[in-house]
């Protein structure tokens, strides 16, 4: 009887505990889902993220929601506003340009490290992809397929660079600017220019020329920023 009384008092039956643990595992997915939706602006800048609403929508305890929101705040994707709670952060123009200046340096470093760390022939499949299917994606205006290919390129460079600090920094930047990247991609001529720039980077990597790969990757970032500056009123 004493055991029953303890269960009634806490409101948690012994059989229910495994379910709470399973929901804790789902909390990791919650952070990932929110990160992706914010990055794609499926959750718009300025939108409020209520703990109760998220807990109900995803079927997780509020403690898990709070953990996810804290992680998003640390990544700069949300901010806490008095009397409003957690809201999706907005990037102003100066912040976006500052991010691109930083990204230029980091992406260049990533290309150099990746080229140095693996054999040149390991990039052959990406060279072929950017010389074939990626060209077709641009010709058809299939930007979703193009961005998927770019995502693979980006992932391979991060893996080959093998620098966890660099990877974390670039992931955070990419999340903040993914929506901007998608908008830049559909600007007049940008996909064709970007494709040529990526092919040049891969050609340098295929030759094993780490310094040239870094230089070209930095030029690629500078070019994207210049395009953004030109069409900023249409993009931001």
Check pLDDT > 50 for residue 228. yes
Cα 220 to its chain centre, rounded Å, is 18
Looking at per-residue pLDDT, the higher value among 56 and 200 belongs to 200
8 falls in which pLDDT band (50, 70, 90)? very low
Task: Answer yes or no: are the C-beta atoms of 147 and 141 closer than 8 Å.
Answer: no
- pLDDT per position as a tens digit, 99-134: 899 999 999 999 999 999 999 999 999 999 999 999
- pLDDT per position as a tens digit, 78-100: 888 887 788 887 777 788 899 89
Q: Which of 5-14, 148-157, 192-201, 207-216 shows the lowest mean pLDDT across its residues? A: 5-14
pLDDT, residue 113, reads: 98
What is the mean predicted confidence (pLDDT) over 7-28? 38
3-class SS shares of the chain: helix, strand, coil, % to 5: 80, 5, 20
pLDDT, residue 182, reads: 78
Q: Which of 39-53, 92-106, 150-164, 190-204 shows the lowest mean pLDDT across its residues? A: 39-53
Q: How far apart are CA 164 and CA 141, in angstroms?
A: 34
Indicate yes or no: pTM above 0.95: no
Check pLDDT > 70 for residue 6. no
33 falls in which pLDDT band (50, 70, 90)? confident
* 10: its two tokens: 């806490």
pLDDT, residue 186, reads: 82
Mean pLDDT of the chain: 84
Domain 93-235, what fold? 1.20.120
Cα 227 to its chain centre, rounded Å, is 20
Q: Any idea where the domains of the chain sit in the sequence? A: 2-88, 93-235
76 falls in which pLDDT band (50, 70, 90)? confident
- pLDDT per position as a tens digit, 198-212: 999 999 999 999 999
Check pLDDT > 90 for residue 71. no
Cα distances (Å, whole numbers) of residue 157 to 95, 198, 227: 25, 12, 24
Shared fold status for 2-88 and 93-235: no
Task: Answer yes or no: are the C-beta atoms of 110 and 158 closer than 8 Å.
Answer: yes
Domain spanning 2-88, CATH architecture: Orthogonal Bundle (1.10)
pLDDT, residue 236, reads: 62
């Amino acid at each position: 009887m004493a055991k029953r009384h303890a269960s009634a008092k806490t409101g948690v039956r012994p059989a229910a505990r495994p379910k709470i643990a399973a929901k804790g595992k789902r909390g990791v997915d919650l952070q990932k889902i929110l990160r992706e939706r914010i990055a794609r602006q499926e959750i718009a800048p300025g939108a409020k993220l209520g703990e109760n609403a998220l807990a109900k929508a995803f079927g997780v305890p509020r403690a898990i929601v709070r953990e996810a929101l804290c992680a998003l705040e640390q990544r700069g994707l949300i901010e806490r506003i008095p009397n409003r709670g957690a809201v999706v952060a907005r990037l102003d123009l100066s912040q976006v340009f500052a991010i691109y200046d930083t990204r230029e340096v980091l992406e260049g470093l990533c290309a150099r490290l990746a080229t140095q760390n693996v054999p040149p022939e390991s990039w052959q499949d990406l060279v072929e992809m950017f010389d074939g299917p990626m060209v077709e994606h641009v010709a058809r205006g299939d930007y979703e397929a193009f961005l998927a290919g770019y995502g693979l390129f980006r992932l391979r460079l991060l893996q080959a660079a093998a620098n966890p600090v660099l990877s974390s920094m670039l992931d955070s930047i990419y999340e903040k600017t993914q929506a901007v990247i998608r908008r830049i991609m559909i600007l007049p001529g940008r996909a064709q220019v970007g494709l040529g720039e990526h092919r040049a980077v891969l050609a340098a990597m295929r030759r094993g020329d780490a310094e040239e790969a870094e230089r070209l990757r930095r030029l690629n970032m500078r070019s994207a920023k210049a395009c953004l500056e030109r069409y900023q009123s249409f993009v931001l």
